[in-house]
Amino acid sequence: MLQEKETCQVSIILPTYNEKDNIVSLIETIHDELRNYNHEIIVVDDNSLDGTYQAVVGLNRHCVKAILRSEKPGLANSIRCGLENAKGSILVIMDSDFNHQPKYLPFMINALAHYECVSGSRFIYGGKMHNELRHMLSWIFNIFVRLMTGGLITDNLYGFLAIKRKVIERCNYDDIFWGYGDYCIRLMYCLQKHKVRILQIPVVNGLRTKGEANTKFFKVFCQYFKEVIKLAYRIRIKYYDARN
């Protein structure tokens, strides 16, 4: 367990868009899991139409910070905004719809006593998704990512991770945080390039309690496929430039 458990600050970053029905209960659940930790929760809202930002502000908790973004909307940009406004020496990135279960947080944070990054994976023993088709397709796609980038991470898309601030700041945010979930592919590649000690832990994908999930599954995968090809191309260009 981290020796500085009582004194170090943990920053939880929650990007949101139309998550009013989930965000309040998620914040309360995170508080309960981290009741023994000095922590802050940063909700970065992309100008939701359903009043998500107002619901967070209405909680009036001193350790909850709400940020309203009205320009350059997008998941990756919201995460970057959260990282840049976080105060903690430990940073946690997670979804705001209960897909990433808060019950894993204490273990992830404590494991940073021995690792530099802890990342959830649905594709190691003990992890899973409830939708079997999506599980299979995501598993195959992650094999494709590893083959194209030379990486070892089994889940390059999940985006549920705890990391030391000084470690993630080795990465150039401009090269990573744009687009949608494809930012995670670039981030995991960057961390591996910097030889960061990463622990992968099995996680079970949670179920959204309210609202509708993203149904544009195949469209999103096509976008991710293109981004992996672009990343692989850049990797090979750098490799050949270095040799010549």
pLDDT in tens, 133-167: 999 999 999 999 999 999 999 999 999 999 999 99
Residue 211 has pLDDT above 50, yes or no: yes
Residue 227 has pLDDT above 50, yes or no: yes
Residue 4 has pLDDT above 50, yes or no: no
Beta strands in the chain (DSSP E): 9-16, 38-45, 64-68, 90-93, 117-121, 161-164, 198-202
pTM (predicted TM-score):
0.90
Domains of the chain plus CATH, in order, are 9-243 (3.90.550.10)
pLDDT in tens, 107-123: 999 999 999 999 999 99
| Region label for 72, one of left (φ > 0), alpha (ψ between -120 and 50) or beta (otherwise) | left
Mean residue pLDDT across the chain: 91
How does residue 209 score in pLDDT terms, banded at 50, 70 and 90? low
Q: Say which amino acid occupies 207.
A: L
pLDDT at 29: 97
Task: Write phi, then psi, for 169 (nearest 5 degrees).
Answer: -75, -5
Q: How far apart are CA 157 and CA 161, in angstroms?
A: 11
Full DSSP string of 104-141: GHHHHHHHTTT-SEEEEESSSTT-B-SSHHHHHHHHHH
